[in-house]
Amino acid sequence: MDVIPAIDLLNGKCVRLYQGDYDQAEVFNEDPVAMAQQWVNQGATRLHLVDLDGAKAGYPVNLEAISAIVRALEIPIQVGGGLRDRQSVADLLSTGVQRAIIGTVAVEKPELVAALCREFPGQIIVGIDARNGRVATKGWLETSEVVATELAERMAQLGVAAIIYTDIHRDGTLQGPNLEALRELASVVAIPVIASGGVSSVTDLLSLLALESQGVTGAIVGRALYTGDVSLKEAVRAVGQGRWQDVPTDLGSSAFA
């Protein structure tokens, strides 16, 4: 299971939001390239970038910062935020980003998802961000009536490379991942599922590692790395060791009622 540091970009700076609230943005570093290099130095083998301005505007805004990070690093980078048409995805991938993460269009334009998967095979990820099991769109500013698991099934059928599942109620809260929701979503698709939101400790990562055999292949970690609650070096080491040990298959549920 990959431990994937998150870098959220707002006005060209690295920030973290609380439950997706743009009014609760905390700046952690004004130099995204330096931040990215720091995570690589600590053992990151992949980075997760989110263009928060883009997610709100509906088109990529922080391409300059993203391009600078890609040029500076040699590890794969996945990016989401504001990718709602074919040209935006093509422009992003032309920077050298390995995978583009789309969200809103998965709900509103599934035919576009199918076309993108054909044009850019293996490079399209769908981000499913949910509140109480329903999919949120437009930078989490709106909540649809679409059920997360049903959307995951449809997207897998269209050929997306992976699904990132975020429980918005857990994002930035350090309350632990929603294990039950992840189990349920992973059970309905045969493609990799990447967990996002709520990781607060190495114990949380080991709980997710127990779901690796069920299809949860990665964990995106944000605020816990920036606050120091999780050391990336220690997390990478613990997950590597845990993979070769007997990890309990049920470390308890973190699901919201």
Residues with active-site annotation: 8, 129
* Widest distance between CA atoms in the chain: 46
Nearest Cα residue to 105 out of 84, 124, 91, 80: 84
CA R_g for the chain: 17
Enter the tokens of residue 201: 């400790």
The separation between CA 247 and the C-alpha centre of its own chain, rounded to angstroms, equals: 24
DSSP state of 73: -
The separation between CA 57 and the C-alpha centre of its own chain, rounded to angstroms, equals: 19
CA distances from 208 to 13, 101, 255, 256 (A): 29, 21, 13, 16
Cβ partners under 8 Å of residue 253, min gap 6:
179, 180
- Residue 174: Cβ within 10 Å count: 17
